[in-house]
Chain A
Amino acid sequence: MSAGIEVTETPAIEVEGLCKRYGDFEAVHGLHFRVAPGEVVGLLGPNAAGKTTTMRMLTGFIPPSDGRVLIAGHDVLTDPLGARAAVGYLPESPPLYPEMTVRAYVSFVASIKDVPRRERADAVERAIARCGLSEVSRRVIGQLSKGYRQRVGLAQAIVHEPEVLVLDEPTVGLDPIQIREIRGLIAELASPEHGRGRQSVILSTHILNEVEAICQRVMMIHHGRMVIDQPLAELTAGGQRLEEVFAHITSRDDAPSPVDAEASP
């Protein structure tokens, strides 16, 4: 799998010169990247590196201060509704209504995400089944365990079969078995066997072996700048472990990395 630059089809995500400033503080600075359809990209970085800010700009939750974001060809600023329709988003804490049942909630999300009425019941059932929620579909979300809530959050993100899935720390707080299940599901969504067009996934995490388990490509952000954007295979080719790369980069504070220049398209 290449870094996605030479792909001819519309990139699932195309980001140019993305910046986010809060007053004098620059949370994200000059990000450039593309994600091809079906690609699973891990967004790495220490806490407060700008991962969540970047994801919020991709999903249209906050507008960028500068730069451009295209989701499946829709600009988040000039065609916000088109861009948002093409994204499924699982924020850091799943956005759930605790008083609703799982099915009612997923069905509500399907209706605000423009799933046509005729297909809605099927789409809801499919999302529930794929996230392993069939047994609890009539239960009230507030009574579910954390692992199940996380799955409901994931069901909500995939119910409209979006081109792009943005997952902010999807496995945080889950037990090892649940983590494995969620990872399996993410991998399945992007796989060619998955019927309705492959979904691109961009997920943030600071669990390094998560990236090694499911991502084809690694982007590392540090102090709001992209310091690495490489296929995983290349990065670990020299027998180097991801953890070493990560530690190496985060230890050199502030200095712009030499990798930066190479990696930017």
Chain B
Amino acid sequence: MRHVAAIAGREFRSFFVSPVAFVVLTLWSVLAGTFFLSTLFDFQQRVLLAQQFQQVDQLAQMNLNDSLVSPFLGAMWFVMLFLLPAVTMGLFANDKANGTDELLLTSPLTVWEIVFGKFAAAAGFALVMVAIAAFYPGLLFYFGEPDVGKTLAGLLGLMLVSFAYVAVGAFASSLTQNQLIAFIVGLVLILVMGVMLPFLVDIAFSGAGVPAADAIGGLMRWVATGYHFEHLISGEIDTADLAYFVVAIGVFLTLSKAVVESSRWR
């Protein structure tokens, strides 16, 4: 564990001497502000409209969580798909390019310690991003009364989804010594896992009729992170969803470990 902390600490600090971290954090903060304002104005508009037309039912259904916090977190999730690969692209690729992998692999460290350390550093960075995003829903508590549990569940969702993507990005980074390739491979994997699979499910369902298609479709839907994230931002905390994220992180870290280990045999 001491080793994990040493590696994670070094890696985390190294984020903040590279311009990438600042570009990512700046974009993230600006987009968070923009999306928050736009969802806020949209919400206000809809409340005004509903009031004007005396749609009491609709007005009664509206609340800060479903109409504001959830769409906002959904938008931030979408931004994350594109920004996290930039955070993780250097995790292993950089060491291979620097030759520092030779230092790590000849030190009394296990490969798991190296992988966990790298993952923890990037997950820590993702946590900073989640904390920045959390600031905006936090503001609502000052002016209104959003549901605490629902808001926290949504933030938990954003955090878990980011950790899963960090694991995917770490795996992409372990495959190459070129950061650009690591970024692109990571982005593609994250897009497929996060967004594309539901589309593939739709295509599978449009074929219809075949019982196997349903089974595959169901499986694909389960594999997609979006499906589980939606549960969490709507305030449902289900152990099955939590287990999904643990499994996703575990699978990609295991793959990363296998790739790092295999470099000894080449």
Q: Give A residues with C-beta under 8 Å from B.
A: 59-63, 81-82, 84-85, 87, 89, 91, 93-100, 108-109, 111-114, 156
Residues of B within 8 A of A60 (CB): 105-106
Q: How distant is the Cα of A192 from the Cα of B197 in the complex, in angstroms?
A: 67
Which residue of chain B is the closest to A166 with respect to CB atoms? B106
Q: How distant is the Cα of A59 from the Cα of B2 in the complex, in angstroms?
A: 22
Q: How distant is the Cα of A99 from the Cα of B98 in the complex, in angstroms?
A: 11
Which residue of chain B is the closest to A84 with respect to CB atoms? B108
Q: How distant is the Cα of A156 from the Cα of B102 in the complex, in angstroms?
A: 12
Which residue of chain B is the closest to A105 with respect to CB atoms? B10
Residues of A within 8 A of B264 (CB): 61-63
Chain B, residues 1-30, CB within 8 Å of chain A (1/0): the string is 011001100100010011000000000000
Report which residue of B100, B107, B110 has the largest number of chain A beta carbons within 10 angstroms of its beta carbon: B107
Give the residue of A98, A99, A100, A112 whose beta carbon is less than 8 angstroms from that of B107. A112
Report which residue of B18, B105, B108 has the largest number of chain A beta carbons within 10 angstroms of its beta carbon: B108
Q: Determine if A111 and B6 form an interchain contact, defined as CB atoms under 8 angstroms apart.
A: yes
Give the residue of A61, A98, A114 whose beta carbon is less than 8 angstroms from that of B108. A114
Residues of A within 8 A of B104 (CB): 112
Q: Determine if B98 and A95 form an interchain contact, defined as CB atoms under 8 angstroms apart.
A: yes
Those of B75-96 within 8 Å (CB) of chain A: none
Q: Determine if B2 and A81 form an interchain contact, defined as CB atoms under 8 angstroms apart.
A: no
Which residue of chain B is the closest to A80 with respect to CB atoms? B108
Q: Determine if A93 and B6 form an interchain contact, defined as CB atoms under 8 angstroms apart.
A: no
Given contacts A61-B264, A100-B14, A112-B3, whether A91 and B107 have CB atoms under 8 Å apart is: no
Residues of B within 8 A of A91 (CB): 99, 102-103
How many of chain B's residues touch chain A, expressed as a range?
20 to 34
Q: Determine if A98 and B102 form an interchain contact, defined as CB atoms under 8 angstroms apart.
A: no
Q: How distant is the Cα of A60 from the Cα of B104 in the complex, in angstroms?
A: 11
19 A-B residue pairings within 8 Å (CB atoms): A84-B108, A89-B103, A91-B99, A93-B99, A95-B100, A95-B101, A95-B103, A96-B99, A96-B100, A99-B17, A99-B18, A100-B10, A109-B107, A111-B2, A111-B6, A112-B3, A112-B7, A112-B108, A113-B107
Chain B, residues 94-134, CB within 8 Å of chain A (1/0): the string is 00001111111111111000000000000000000000000
Q: Determine if A85 and B18 form an interchain contact, defined as CB atoms under 8 angstroms apart.
A: no
Residues of A within 8 A of B143 (CB): none
Residues of A within 8 A of B142 (CB): none
Residues of B within 8 A of A94 (CB): 99
Chain B, residues 241-266, CB within 8 Å of chain A (1/0): the string is 00000000000000000000000110
Given contacts A81-B110, A89-B106, A112-B7, whether A95 and B99 have CB atoms under 8 Å apart is: yes
Given contacts A60-B106, A89-B106, A113-B107, whether A97 and B265 have CB atoms under 8 Å apart is: no
